[in-house]
A and B are shown apart, each in its own frame.
Chain A
Amino acid sequence: MKKSSAKGGLKFDTKWSYAPAPETPDHIQLKEKYDLFINGKFTAPSSKKYFDTINPATEKKIASVADANAADVDKAVTAARTAQQKVWSKISAAERGKYIYRIARVMQEKARELAIIESIDGGKPIRESRDIDVPLAAAHFFYYAGWADKLEYAFPGKKPAPLGVAGQIIPWNFPLLMAAWKIAPALAAGNTVVLKPAETTPLTALKLAEILQEADLPPGVVNIITGAGATGAAIVNHPGIDKIAFTGSTDVGKIIQKALAGTDKKYTLELGGKAANIIFEDAAIDQAVEGIVNGIFFNQGHVCCAGSRLFVQEGIAKEVIRKLKDRIQTLIVGDPLDKNTDIGAINSKAQLNKIKSLVQIGIKEGGECWQSDCDVPSKGFWFRPTLFTNVAQSSTIVQEEIFGPVLAIQTFRTVEEVIEKANNTPYGLSGGVWTDKGSKVFKVSSKLRAGVIWANTYNKFDPTSPFGGYKESGVGREGGLHGLSPYLKMY
C-alpha cells in the first residue's frame, strides 16, 4: 500500500498522535440477559433460547438476548391487536400524540446512555451515535407526535384511518434510529407495532422498550422481539399483521415482497443502494472532498444511501483523488467509544468477510486498490478505508452494494455521460451532485433516478424529510408527510 504526502502545508505522512478521549461506559445500565418485550413486560421466550450480542470492537459478549420463535411472534401480534382495538384506537388522537412526545423526551434525557450502548453494540463511532443517531431518533418521535391529531389535514380529499398492526423489521446499521423511523409514524397514525431489531444490534431497541415502560405507553402498543431471519419471516407471514415495514438488503426485500404476494398486507421496503456521488470541475473541491469522505465512510460505509460510486469530472480527477487520499490518511480507525475516532468497527464478522471478499473480487477484476495505512486494533472487526480506481461500469464492485468503507472511482467528461452512468444500476436510493452552478444542480438532480439527492452536501437526514428509493431500492417513503401515508388507510 502506498503512502501519500502533501506538498507544503500540512504534512500528512507524519504520525499525528491524539491522546485517547474515550467516553466512559461506567454509568450505563445493561442487564446480562434480555427477554422479549411483549404486552408491556419482559417475557421469557417460548423457545427458551438465547443468543449472544457481542461488541464488534472487542469481540466480547455484552448480553444474551432472547430468540423469539413463531409462538412468541404470535403472542406479540396478539398483544398488539388487542392493544390496537381496546386501547390505542380508543384514546383521543391528542392523547396518542402526548404519549409519543413523552417517548421523545425520555430518549433525550437518556441520550448519552443510548449513544454509548449504540456504539458498544454496533461499532459506530460515539461521535456519530451521540450527534446523529440518538438526537435524530428522538426528533423523529417529536415530529410524528404532532401529526397524531392532525391527520385529517394531511391528505386532501381523504379520511385517514389506522391500518391495525404493523410488523417492522429493522437493520443493524442505525439500530435505534431505524426503530424510531418505524415506530413513530406507526403510532401517530394509530397503529400498534411488533418490531424486530437486527440480531447483531438488539440492545438499544431493548433499552427503548424500557423507555416505553417509563413513558407509561399502554401495554401491547409496541412489542419488541429479538431474533434472526426466522423471527423476521414469522412476522412477515403472520396472518394477524396488516402492514410490513422493512429496512434491509434488496435480496431480503424481494423475498418479503414475494412472501406477501396474494395477501392484503401493505408494505414499505427501504432497500439497498449504490449511490453516485458526482463531482463537477466547477465544484468547491475541498468541500467536495469532505463530502466524498462523509458519503462513503460515515458509519463505516454501512449505509444504504452511501456514496459508494464516485464520479469525478476528468479535468479535476487527479487533484480530487490526491486530496482524497491525503484526507483519508488522516482518518482514525479504532475504538468506537473514543471521541477522536472517525471510523469504528465493522458491525460483524460476517459483514467483514463480505467486504473482504468483494474487495478481492475488485482486485481480481483489474481494479487498482488503495488503502489508508492507518493502524487498526488487533482484536475486533476492522477495515481500512479503501479506494478503487481503474474500474468500469461492469465491475462487480461498481454494480454490487458492498456496505463497507470501499469507494469505487470513475471519471466522466460530460453531464449527459455522467447521468447515464449514474443511472445505470438497478438501485435508485440516493445521489450526490457537487457544482457551484445552480442550473447544473437542478439539471442533474432532476435527471438522477433516485429518491434523495444531496446537492453540495451528503448524508443529511431529518424527520421532516422523506427518504426512500426508486427502482430496486424500495417502495414507499419514510419521514415527513410522505412517510405517514404508508401507515394509513384512506377513505
Chain B
Amino acid sequence: MATKTAIKNTSASTSKRLDVKKTYKIYIDGKFPRTESGRFYALKDTSGNVIANVCRGSRKDLRDAVVSNRKAQNDWSKRSAYNKAQILYRIAETLEGRKAQFIDTMMKEGYKESNAKAEVEAAIDLLVYYAGWSDKYIQVFSSVNPVESSHFNFSYPEPTGIVNVICPQNLALLGIISHAAPVIIGGNTCTLVVAEKHPLTAIEFAEVIHASDLPGGVINIITGYRKEFIAHASSHMDVNAIIYSDVDQEQRKTIQINAALNVKRVVDYSKEEALSPYRIMSCQEIKTTWHPIGI
C-alpha cells in the first residue's frame, strides 16, 4: 500500500518533480571513487548549459589504476579463452539491453540520434566480434617450429601486461570498445583515458562492465584532460604498452620519448582497422619454448 501511495504522490506532482542528477565518478578496481584530486570540469551541452560536473582525474588516479591493473593481470590472463569470450559477450548483451540509455546519453553529449544509434549498435557488434577471437587468435598466430636439432619447439602469443590507452576524442562509445576489447581479450589489463567530451558515456559503460562479470581492475576508466595524462600514462614504469590513435604530433613524440624509459610497446591503432586480429597482436609477446625429444 505504501508503495502505491508513493507512486501516486509522485505522479500527482509530475510537473514539479525534481530530477535526481547523477554524479559521474571514475572507475578503478571495480569501484567508483571520486578523483583523488577533488577536481572537476564542467561538461556542457551544445547550447553551453552545464550537464554534469565530471571528475578531472589526476596522476594519482592513474597510478592507483595501474596498481589495480597489475593486481588483476595475473588472474585475468589465466582465465580460459572460453571464459574471457563469454565475459566479452556478456558485456555485449548488457549493452544491448541498455541501448536506449546510451543513445540518450550520447545525444546529451552532442550526438544526433541516428548517429548515436548506429554507433551503439556497431559497438555491440564489435564486442561480439572480439569475443569470438578469444579462442582463435592464439591458433592463428602460433607456430610449431621445425628446428634442426632434436627438440620440440613452439611459439605462441602471451599478453604484454598492462596497457594504458588514450581513447579517441570523437567516438563516445566505439572509441572505448574498439580500443579496449582487443587489449583485454588478449589477456592484458588496461586503464583508459577517455574522450573529454564524452565522459558520461564512458562512465555509463563502466557501469555496464561492472554488471558483466568482468573482474575489477581489468578495465579502469579515468575522465579528465588528455593533455594532463599524456606524460604520466607514457612514463609509468609498471606499464608495458601504450595505445593511441588520434593524438597530435607533439603528444605522439612525448609518448614515444617516455616509452623508452622502460621500453614500452607503442601502438598506433589508427594504422590498423577496427576489425582486425592484428590489433590484438599489437599487445602480445611471442614466447618460444624448447624441449628435448628423447627418453
Contacts and interface: CB of A to CB of B under 8 A. Distances in A.
A456 B276 CA distance: 37
Interface stretch (A3-11, A353-361, A476-484): A476-484
Interface in B75-105: none
B290 A450 contact: no
B278 A490 contact: yes
Contact of A462 (B147, B240, B255, B263): B147
A157 to B, nearest CB: 7
A475 B263 contact: yes
A395 interface: no
Given A157-B276, A445-B289, A457-B292, A471 B145 contact: no
B256 interface: yes
Nearest to B157: A482
A451 B290 CA distance: 11
Interface residues of A, number: 46
A457 B263 contact: no
A321 B287 CA distance: 30
The range of chain B's interface size is 35 or more
A261 interface: yes
Interface in B245-292: 249, 252-253, 255-257, 259-263, 265, 276-278, 285-292
B13 interface: no
A139 B148 contact: yes
Contacts of B169: none
A253 interface: yes
A286 to B, nearest CB: 14
A187 interface: no
B265 to A, nearest CB: 6
Most chain A CB neighbours (cut-off 10 Å) among B160, B256, B291: B291
Contacts of B286: 451, 466, 468, 477, 482
A434 to B, nearest CB: 11
B256 A260 contact: yes
A428 to B, nearest CB: 8
Given A254-B260, A474-B263, A451 B288 contact: yes
A453 interface: yes
Contacts of A451: 285-288
B151 A464 contact: no
Contacts of A449: 161
Contact of B252 (A262, A445, A477, A481): A262
A254 B256 CA distance: 11
Given A262-B256, A464-B146, A466-B145, A475 B265 contact: yes
Contacts of A255: 260
Interface in A438-491: 441, 445-446, 449-457, 460, 462, 464-468, 470-475, 477, 480-482, 490
Most chain A CB neighbours (cut-off 10 Å) among B160, B257, B263, B292: B263
Nearest to B271: A490
B50 interface: no
A456 B293 CA distance: 10
A185 to B, nearest CB: 15
A237 to B, nearest CB: 15
Interface string A239-252: 00000000000100
B53 interface: no
Given A455-B291, A465-B290, A481-B143, A472 B262 contact: yes
B212 interface: no
Nearest to A483: B286
Most chain A CB neighbours (cut-off 10 Å) among B147, B151, B278, B289: B289
Contacts of A257: 256, 259-260, 263
Contacts of A260: 256
Contact of B151 (A139, A250, A457, A467): A457
Given A156-B140, A480-B145, A453 B263 contact: no
A391 interface: no
Contact of B290 (A156, A258, A457): A457
Contacts of B145: 462, 464-466, 480
B263 A269 contact: yes
B263 A460 contact: no
Given A261-B260, A471-B262, A464 B290 contact: no
A151 B223 CA distance: 43
A255 to B, nearest CB: 8
B292 A465 contact: no
A158 B255 CA distance: 28
Contacts of A454: 289-290
A470 B155 contact: no
A194 to B, nearest CB: 22
Contacts of B46: none
A141 to B, nearest CB: 14
B253 A253 contact: no
B149 interface: yes
Contacts of A471: 161, 240, 262-263
Contact of B257 (A261, A453, A457, A467): A261
Contacts of B291: 441, 455-457
Nearest to A462: B147
B290 A453 contact: yes
A455 to B, nearest CB: 5
Contacts of A254: 260-261, 263
A96 to B, nearest CB: 23
B147 A464 contact: yes
Contacts of A465: 145, 147, 153, 155, 288, 290
B21 to A, nearest CB: 44
Contact of A455 (B149, B265, B289): B289
Nearest to B146: A464
A465 B140 CA distance: 17
Contacts of B260: 254-255, 257-258, 261
B290 A452 contact: yes
Nearest to A155: B278
B288 A452 contact: yes
A490 to B, nearest CB: 7
Interface in A210-269: 250, 253-255, 257-258, 260-262, 269
B182 to A, nearest CB: 15
A407 interface: no
A250 B263 CA distance: 9
Contacts of A446: 158, 287
A271 interface: yes
A395 to B, nearest CB: 21
B288 A467 contact: yes
For the complex of A and B, the 7 pairs showing the least CB-CB separation, nearest first, are A261-B256, A262-B253, A257-B260, A462-B147, A258-B260, A464-B145, A261-B257
Given A261-B256, A262-B256, 15 more contacts: A157-B276, A253-B263, A254-B260, A257-B263, A261-B253, A446-B158, A451-B288, A455-B290, A456-B292, A457-B291, A462-B148, A472-B263, A473-B263, A474-B263, A482-B143
Interface of B: 140, 143, 145-149, 151, 153, 155, 158, 160-161, 240, 249, 252-253, 255-257, 259-263, 265, 276-278, 285-292
6 contacts: A139-B148, A157-B278, A257-B259, A451-B286, A452-B288, A462-B153
